[in-house]
A = this chain, B = another copy of it.
């Protein structure tokens, strides 16, 4: 089995075909969860599952499974592969879709090679990973892992006022299976990195050993609006300056540490936002991430200490609102080592790395050993039509998945 490889053409053709579904007249690709475009994408996927002779199962939250089961392994827990096929607005064609179609490709390759797995192998396309239309993101995998009730999830009201359950029923993907019906033996997700590390370092395979914890906060600083010309520097309570100090603090602290902590201030606004008025209010977001929960807590504490000190020094009032908080996820060491071993077996460099973005794998990791394989994203670009991974890298990643699956399904 070690010499088999996936059918590159079939994988790339399907990726391109799926990437045309939901593309508007203006050329932009958008397949939001539960939309007509999502239905069309799901229909294509299901037709490919059926063409490959897989058993198709759909659960109540709309997760689609293609299961390859043999009479002799039907009693075993399946090895689960997967990702998602919903997209953001104006998306690229790789995010999620690559993992789903490569998983299908791996299963077809094994079937065609008459490989006899010791357990079923299944591919999943989880509902609403992107969370653009319905919050939270990674919803289908979260429900599958039992972290959110199916009925609660189905009642979610979208940004357009629709209800997810009604939309899934409308497009024919409110399935019969109870979420979580498939208990995986292990879970592997192949994905584009969506970051620049592999591309910059010219490493084709990422063996993803963990996934960052995320802390999102909104900071509001209240000072005092005054005339920019008539108020001496010593008499100011400048909320905008205080915000600048926080932005510099976060970046400088993360930049000079030897930890993988990343800190980002992505949104900001000043009030009254007039050229000749000292800002009375500055509001900005803080995105802190770290693969280590203890360190993430320390970074949150360091920010809180800084804000407290700043409030005193600048005579401003600072309030903080927590927007989101996810603990880091540690993936299964055994699977990560299998990924590295598979890369060595194909003469490919591999790098142990951390996922900076959220993925379905972090949800399934709650109920089964899990890990991820990354392939390079050119310039780290994702959630954008310029999202790109070379055909060579796409094929290499799928072959590593093939080898890992063959190993994990062997017993």
Contacts and interface: CB of A to CB of B under 8 A. Distances in A.
Contact of A196 (B195, B235, B254): B235
A267 B272 CA distance: 8
A226 B285 CA distance: 16
A48 interface: no
A131 to B, nearest CB: 11
A231 interface: yes
7 contacts: A195-B231, A196-B231, A228-B266, A244-B251, A264-B276, A264-B278, A266-B276
A273 B285 CA distance: 10
B200 A235 contact: yes
Contact of A233 (B197, B262, B267, B285): B262
Contact of A234 (B241, B255, B276, B287): B255
Interface in A329-384: 355-358, 380-383
A287 B195 contact: no
- How many copies altogether? 2
Nearest to A288: B228
A230 B194 contact: yes
A39 interface: no
A228 B276 contact: no
A268 interface: yes
Contact of A241 (B200, B240, B251, B357): B251
Interface in A206-260: 212, 214, 216, 226-235, 238, 240-241, 243-245, 247-248, 251, 254-255, 260
B247 A241 contact: yes
Nearest to A217: B275
A260 B267 CA distance: 33
